[in-house]
Amino acid sequence: MQRLRKLISSATSLLVALATLYLAFAIHYWLGWPELVRTAGPFALAATVAALWLPTGRWRRLRRLAAAALLGTLAIAYAVKAPVPQDWIPLQARSVTATIDGDRAVLTNFSDALHRPGEPSIPRWIEKTLDLSQLEAADLILQPFGNLEAFEHVMLSFRFTGGQHVVVSMEARRAVSERFNALAGFFRHDELFPMIGSERDLLWARMARTPPDELQVYPLQRDADQLRVYFRRVLSFADGVAHEPKFYSTATESCLTTLIRIAPETFAHVPWWDLRRWVPGYSLGLFQDLGLVSDDLPPEDLAKRQTIRGAVEPPGAFADDESWSHHIRTLLERHGAAIDATTADRE
């Protein structure tokens, strides 16, 4: 019995230490609190909990109850806090909203910004009307981050009759004075920003950088009816976030996890214990196992084949957005054909 009590006491102390550490980080990243509180608060919390919890002797039980009450009060406040308004970067200044009536969807603040290499981007927001019955296909877009295998950005591009594309990207909304911090994303710091816009905006924005970002394009293996159900969910989710902001989470509400969470189970069911659900950099193998993308090649070989290569012309060189979307997919087809030809020669 004595050993069991010691074990319970040790486990409780460890839990208190972990809770203190987590809440200390939460205070540091707690937007809306004064800078002094965010800087000194974590140390004050750790010192207070240690002073109440660790000493033995008189009033020990009462002191530990006080420490638990302090942590519990902070935890409740942390759980119910809401994102605070900020001065957002121009490209994320407006939130998209969606009004759906039957097969007609009207998107307000549809992003169609202009990007020029070496020059500031020009934000542009338009109203976009979509006929959902014309949605016919979709592509998975992956954006690797250098040599960091675990990190990628995940997007979807939905294609409508006539070649029009609508890109969906779940992002962390950035304030003018801050840069994205993946660690902060674990502590309810950033606001989730569902970005919906054109390919010449969301895709070209990445290709127009110096050096250009790499993009991989994978056709989704789902029929049009499944895609329409999923796209409606995406629009409804984005509209809900516009009216009631929620936090971005590196773990549970990211570019990948959000898209998986709102997907119908018939579209993509991923159990919570599958680690690939939480790590975007390993998502390609997951999507292959789900039957969402081709599994004819191993993930590494498929990624090389489906990467856009060659000199990508800017959208302004084409008559319309549809022509530019066709251009980048033509480059992709040529690159894939070249790889196939090389493979055939070796065999």
Do residues 114 and 232 share a domain? yes
Do residues 29 and 99 share a domain? no
pTM score, whole prediction: 0.91
Q: How confident is the model at residue 342 (pLDDT cuts 50, 70, 90)?
A: confident
Q: Has residue 277 been placed in a domain?
A: yes
Residue 72 structure tokens: 């519990």
Do residues 56 and 130 share a domain? no
What does the alpha-carbon distance between residue 338 and residue 322 come to, in Å, rounded to a whole number? 24
Do residues 128 and 233 share a domain? yes
**Domain that includes residue 20, residue range:** 2-80
Residue showing tokens 């009033």: 59
DSSP assignment of 311-338: -PPPGGGSSSHHHHHHHHHHHHHHHHHH
Residue showing tokens 């839990």: 15
What does the alpha-carbon distance between residue 45 and residue 121 come to, in Å, rounded to a whole number? 43
Characterize the bridge pairing of strands 125-131 and 135-144.
Answer: unpaired
Beta bridge partners of 98: 107
* pLDDT of amino acid 187: 95
Which one of 258, 276, 292 terminates a domain? 292
Characterize the bridge pairing of strands 135-144 and 216-219.
Answer: antiparallel
Q: Has residue 344 been placed in a domain?
A: no
Q: How confident is the model at residue 177 (pLDDT cuts 50, 70, 90)?
A: confident
Do residues 277 and 156 share a domain? yes
Helix axes 60-80 and 2-28, enclosed angle (nearest 10): 40
Q: Has residue 308 been placed in a domain?
A: no
Residues 120-170: tens digit of each pLDDT: 999 999 999 999 999 999 999 999 987 767 789 999 999 999 999 999 999
Q: State how many domains the chain has.
A: 2
Residues 238-290: tens digit of each pLDDT: 999 999 999 999 989 999 999 999 999 888 889 889 999 998 889 999 999 99
Residue 131 structure tokens: 């006929």
Q: Has residue 314 been placed in a domain?
A: no
Do residues 94 and 71 share a domain? no
What does the alpha-carbon distance between residue 122 and residue 314 come to, in Å, rounded to a whole number? 15
